[in-house]
Amino acid sequence: MAVASAAVGGLVANIVLPLLDILVVALRLAARRKKRAPLKVDDWTIVVSLLICLAFSASGIYAACSGLHGVPYDQMPEASFRRFRIVEFSDILLSHFVYGLIKLSVLFFYKRIFFPFDRFIFAANIIIGATILFIIVSFFTVLFCTRDVSSFWNTPAMSDGTQYVIYLPTLLTTYAVLDIALDLAILSLPIPLIWSMCLSCRKRVYVAGVFLLGASCLICSAVRLYYMRATLDYNGKSMRHEIELNDNANLWSHTEAYASVVAACLPTLGPLFSNIHGFDALFDSVCSPFSSRSKFSSSLGEVSPFTKKPDNLQNERMLWHEMNTGGAHAYVIVDKSGNGFEEGSQRNDNIVVHKTFELLSERT
């Protein structure tokens, strides 16, 4: 069947954007492999999110090529309208699930790189709990918003809307607002910590900018909310215009998922660009302070990449060395004020090794 002109944009988006998602997820996994680091929970959740996005893509392509998008309801045969409602139901049911899953991936990534900071982890855990609650509540309220599940697609077009026990448009508008609120909370979470880093202002802006790339998801969410409200508030008599509004809302719900996968993967791609001139300094700024994930203490007191050198360190010298292979990072602190000892700490994901030895002599 020929694709309706109003459905062409959605068809193109559901082909091109999932291919971009596959590319960035593959690059993310390649970055982990380059560091010889095992996949963590944030990586696995983004892989599952990609699979759901591919299901979105398949449903969008099927709907466009089957004449289910871009066609007024009153021009659809009853069987086609039923298939349209089944596709719409599955999209709505899974969309909030994948939005929440991508948010969890970002939060687990935050916890992995900001491991030493208890207050940050506490705040991240609160948002994780809120996100899980968002996933569960949105899934089951959509699933049981009608008298029975099958009445969602078995209700005739002329009686559409009478099957709800919870009015679906209002429900989806509420969840769209909550989705934006969670995105804002997640995007703003690392900014205070990044701004306190011992970096130049320019590098702080660079690092914050990498994390704020997720703001593209906010744009998609806002556009989706606009079309949802426009569809809900439309009082005109043109069925075709109402269908266009509804199709645009569906398109932007898919686009939000696709864009969220890309935004969640971008901060993890640093190792792939570490040898490219201009990118190495930027990504070292992003990765070096975050990847230590452990606190070091000696006679100098606690040392953290996010704290500036205290004034009383005039007689001490510190050497910070990062190992970029194997996912391991080593830091060395040398104290010259006493008998002399060198204390180092190296961490490779699950193993922490501490070494202390006597400094017999010092060459000048």
For residue 302, give the 3-state DSSP assignment: strand
Predicted local confidence at residue 276, as pLDDT:
58
Predicted local confidence at residue 323, as pLDDT:
28
Handedness of CA 35, 309, 199, 281 (dihedral sign): negative
In whole angstroms, what is the distance from residue 88 CA to residue 254 CA? Answer: 12
pTM for this predicted structure: 0.74
Predicted local confidence at residue 129, as pLDDT:
96
Q: How many residues does the chain have?
A: 364
Predicted local confidence at residue 199, as pLDDT:
63
Predicted local confidence at residue 321, as pLDDT:
30
Predicted local confidence at residue 281, as pLDDT:
52
Query: DSSP state, 164?
Result: B
Is domain 5-273 in CATH 1.20.1070, yes or no? Answer: yes
Predicted local confidence at residue 3, as pLDDT:
78
Predicted local confidence at residue 217, as pLDDT:
83
User: 340, 359 in Cβ contact below 8 A?
Assistant: yes
Q: Which one-letter amino acid corresponds to residue 24?
A: V
- Range 57-63 contact pairs with CB under 8 angstroms and sequence separation of 24 or more: 57/14, 57/15, 57/17, 57/18, 57/254, 59/87, 59/90, 59/91, 60/10, 60/11, 60/13, 60/14, 60/250, 60/251, 60/254, 61/11, 61/14, 61/15, 62/87, 63/7, 63/87
User: 159, 147 in Cβ contact below 8 A?
Assistant: no
Going residue by residue through the chain (364 aa), what tens digit of pLDDT does each one get?
A: 567 777 788 889 999 999 999 999 999 999 999 888 899 999 999 999 999 999 999 999 998 888 888 777 777 888 888 998 999 999 999 999 999 999 999 999 999 888 778 888 999 999 999 999 999 999 999 999 998 899 999 988 888 888 899 888 889 899 999 999 999 999 888 888 777 766 666 666 766 677 677 777 888 888 988 888 887 777 666 667 777 778 888 889 999 999 999 999 988 887 787 665 544 454 454 445 444 443 333 333 333 444 443 333 332 333 223 223 333 343 333 343 444 333 344 444 444 334 444 444 434 3
Domain ranges of the chain: 5-273, 294-358
